Every structure is written in structure tokens, then in C-alpha cells.
Amino acid sequence: MAKKLFIKTYGCQMNVYDSARMADVLAPLGYAKTETPDDADMVIINTCHIREKAAEKVFSELGHWRIRKAEARERGGDVTIAVAGCVAQAEGEEIHARAPFVDLVVGPQAYHRLPELLAKAERHRALASGKGSGVLDTEFPVESKFDHLPEQVATPPGPVGFLAIQEGCDKFCTFCVVPYTRGAEYSRPAAAVIAEAERLIDAGAVEVALLGQNVNAWHGEGPDGKTWSLGRLLRELNDRFAHKHPKLRWRYTTSHPREMDDELIAAHRDVAGLMPFLHLPIQSGSDAILKAMNRGHRAEDYLRIVGKLRQARPDIALTSDFITGFPGESDRDFEATLQLVRDVGFAQAYSFKYSPRPGTPGSLMPQQVSDAVSTERLYALQALLQEQSAAFNRACVGRSMDVLVERPGRQPGQLLGRSPYMQSVVLNDPAVKIGDFITVTVTDGHANSLFGDVAGASREAA
């Protein structure tokens, strides 16, 4: 009988991708994925370390699994508990100390060694009854884990396929843990990316999202042996696979302003399947804060990139990330952030209060900003960003758009799709199903979503 594997994923899309790949690695060992935690023989908690709140979730989640494991043992069974992801990498030893019932801790670069770790955990378990088995692997291999992951896809991709093309980060922004938890920047060779894209599309994906912590820093080896840029790769992918689906979509995330080169900007003009959307985090609009964050560019550089992007693709929707209350941020610095937001006009954005992370230079800086001030700025920024996203969405009312239906909505009978601009589109039409690619007339626009009616008989099965 197949053993059941439950994976709980926190954090970014890289973790979502990795969770699917861990299922791939474990499939040959007889593990089949389950969506119900209660019947799991093994659980993987794939964790995120980006802010304190994210990291804290791990220990509360583990509390629940400790009880599940004890109950299973009383019945003569067991539940194997694995902690993966960025908290595993950053706090592996602490997890074993605080939660000794955890069987294995595996860092993001060691997933290809899961079978070996599991075998080790089982051997340990035979010796240490009652406790976990305390296996830890957070080594960074010399070469990338991608080259060691199996090819088959244990989980069908659904309408949107995630494809990691780049891993790690060398930017060392002074607030961020990613360079420590994910290791150095690595680009997969174009041939591997092309092969995986083809598998995803053949398995039913009609949108492929290329992923990386610094996706536009991708500089992989091209099939011609030369180093390619992301712009070149996107052209190649679209040229090769556009014939497979008339509306095949490409996206990429997350990008860094410093890596937004002209070839990539030109791809937004020339590559028909590349969606008119870009998530381009800036964090702050103040040059002094950008410098203290080690972002490597000024506010005016960002504005110049935005200008070029809009020239290449006038309707491009831009989104971003912001941090309020970075050490040393004054009222004037914060005002510069608000001004940048007004100058750009975002379709949507994420904003966070600065969270000092252990081991990062930011956490040691003097002039930490009080929580009250960070919070006040966060609310002011969010009010402005909400106004902008509501205005962007309202301006879409009456337009007709291609929508890819991705998943069930909150209310019964509702489905959620994505517009080309990455807006969530709520649909209430019994004839529509997940995977449909439909033309929708936008009937209403709110800050976080659009509502739409299916227009005419434009329905196409994906």
C-alpha cells in the first residue's frame, strides 16, 4: 500500500516548486501525496524564514505534529516529520533542540538527498524509541540540486506550471536572509529549462511561470554554448512552444531592478506570449535607504526602467514590494517612498514592516525604527497602494480580457481566474471550469479583484 505524504508549504513560489519536486523524489519510494493531514505517514513542513512571523509558524505547526506522532505511536504506527525550507537551513540545530521529535531537517539545497536521509532516519529510529531520529542535512552542494532531481512530475501542473530556472541570491540586501538560506546564484542551463517547459505544457499547463529568487539574474548556458540572458530565453521558449496552444502564457518572478536589461525589456515588446505584467520590488523610494539596504540602485534608476518598460509595452501592469521602518528611515525617507509610488502608479503591491532577521547586517544597525512608527508608515503606504490598485482595477471595467481559470473561489459556485495583468477575476458561471481559457467582460473592479461575465462562445478547453 502506498504511504501517504502530506506537504505543508509556506513562503514563496520557489517553495511551492520545491514541494512538488520533493514529492517527485519520494514517489519512487512509494509515497503518494495526500491533501488530508490526518492520514499522513509522513509530513514535510516546507518553511519560510523571511520575516519573524513566518519563522514562528514552524514551531506552532510542529506542536500539532508532535501530538499526531504520539497518537500514531500509541497505535503501533508512526508519522515521519520532516522540516524543509529556509527555517530548516537557518535554524536546523535549533529545530532539533526545541523539537526533538522531528525526524529530519533538510535544507533547500539537499532535497535530492531525501531518500538517503529517510533511510538514515529510519535506522536512527530503530535505536531511539519515542523521539525523532535527528537527521540533519543543510549542506550546499557544489553543483545545483536541479541536476539531481528526477524528471517525472508526480503532481500534474494544472493550468499554471511553475518552473524554477534560477536559485539563490548574491545580492545580500542588508535586511534579507535569502542569500544565507538559499546559497549562491545559480542558473539552470537553457536546455534543461526548455525540456521542463515542454513537459509542463504537454501535461496541460497553458501558462508557465519561470521562477527564481533573482529570476532576471538568470544567465544560463544556451543551446549554442553561449551565455544567454532571460530575454533571450523567453524568446526561445515562446518560439518553440507557441504552436502548442494559441494563448500560451509566460511570466517570470521575482526580478531585481539591477538585472532589468534591455534585452528583457525588449522581450516585453516582442514576445507575444509574455504577459504585460512585472513584479519589480523596490523596497523604498529613498536613495539613502536604498543605499543602506545595499540595493545597488537609486530611485531614479527605477523610474528610468519603468519608463523604458512602458515604452516597450504601454499597458504593462507593475507591482512591487516595500518595507517600512528600515533602520534609519526618517519621515523624509518615507515621504520619498510615497512620492515614488505616486510617480509610478502600481497595479498592486506588497508592503511589510521591517523585521530584523538574525545574522543580517540590518539587524545590527543603530537607529532601529520603533514598531509604532513602522506600523503607522505601513498603514499610510497601504492606503495609497490600495487606492492605486482600486483605480487600476476600476479602469478595467467594461474591457474584455483573456482569463485563465485557475482555482475555486471563496463562495460556492465561484471560480477564480487570472487576467493578463495578474488580476484575480471572480467568475460565477456554472459552465466554466478550471483550466478553461475564456474571454471575459469585466463588470466590476475592487482593490483586490475583478468580477467578470463570460463573453459569448469564446470558451476553449485548455
Which one of ligand SF4, ligand SAH, ligand F3S, none is in contact with 179 (Cβ closer than 5 to 8 A by kind)? Answer: ligand SF4
C-alpha dist (Å) from residue 391 to 123, 230, 306, 384? 59, 31, 19, 11
Binding at 49: pick from ligand SAH, ligand F3S, ligand SF4, none (beta carbon under 5-8 Å per type): ligand F3S
> Per rule CB under 6 A, is residue 182 in the interface with ligand F3S?
yes
Amino acid identity for residue 214 in this structure = N
Cell triple for residue 162? Answer: 511553475
Question: Is there a contact between 7 and 22 (Cβ–Cβ < 8 Å)?
Answer: yes
Report if residue 179 touches ligand SF4, rule: CB under 6 A. yes
**Contact status: 213 vs ligand SAH (CB under 6 A):** yes
The C-alpha cell 543602506 sits at: 292
**Can residue 120 be called a binding residue for ligand SF4 (CB under 6 A)?**
no
Q: Which is nearer to ligand F3S, 7 or 178 (CB)?
A: 178
Between 90 and 153, name the residue whose CB sits nearer to ligand SF4.
Answer: 90
Angle at 176 between CA 171 and CA 177, to 5 degrees: 100
Q: Is the dihedral of CA 188, 190, 196, 201 positive or negative?
A: positive
Instruction: List the x/- string, 308-337, binding to ligand SAH by CB under 6 A.
Output: -------------x-x--------------
CB of 54 to ligand SF4, least distance (A): 14
- Under rule CB under 6 A, residue 51 binds ligand SAH: yes
Q: By C-alpha distance, which of 112, 97, 119 is closest to 146?
A: 112
Residue 355 interface partner, choices ligand SAH, ligand F3S, ligand SF4, none, CB cut-off 5-8 Å depending on type:
ligand SAH
Q: Which does 357 bind (CB under 5 to 8 A by kind): ligand SF4, ligand SAH, ligand F3S, none?
A: ligand SAH
Site for ligand F3S in 84-143 (CB under 6 A): 85-86
Could you say whether residue 213 binds ligand SF4 (CB under 6 A)?
yes
Among 161, 220, 231, 281, contact with ligand SAH (rule: CB under 6 A): 281
Is 176 an interacting residue with respect to ligand SAH (CB under 6 A)?
yes
Q: Does the footprint of ligand F3S cover residue 21 (CB under 6 A)? A: no
Q: What string marks each residue from 230 to 269 as x (binds ligand SAH by CB under 6 A) or -?
A: ------------------------x-x-------------
Contact between 20 and ligand SAH (CB under 6 A)? Answer: no
Is position 215 an interface residue for ligand F3S (rule: CB under 6 A)? no
402 burial via Cβ count (<10 Å: 0-12, 13-18, 19+): middle
Query: What is the nearest approach in angstroms of ligand F3S to the Cβ of residue 215?
Result: 12
Cα–Cα distance measured from residue 215 to residue 199, given in angstroms and rounded to the nearest whole number: 20
In this structure, which amino acid lies at residue 23? A
Q: Which of residues 232-291 bind ligand SF4 (CB under 6 A)?
A: 256
- The sign of the dihedral angle between the CA atoms of 137, 139, 145, 147 is negative
Q: How far is the CB of 9 from ligand F3S (least distance, A)?
A: 9
Q: Provide the grid cell at 198.
A: 515542454
Can residue 213 be called a binding residue for ligand F3S (CB under 6 A)? yes
Q: Binding mask 28-57 vs ligand F3S (x if CB under 6 A, - otherwise)? A: --------------------xxx-------
Rounded CA separation 219/231 (Å): 10
Among 5, 6, 8, 11, binds ligand F3S (CB under 6 A): 11
Contact range with ligand SF4 by CB under 6 A, out of 169-177, 231-239, 419-427, 431-439: 169-177
**Residues at the interface with ligand SF4 (CB under 6 A):** 169, 171-173, 176, 178-179, 213-214, 256
**Residues at the interface with ligand SAH (CB under 6 A):** 50-51, 175-176, 178, 213-214, 254, 256, 281, 283, 321, 323, 352, 354-355, 357
**Residues at the interface with ligand F3S (CB under 6 A):** 11-12, 14-15, 48-50, 85-86, 177-178, 181-182, 213
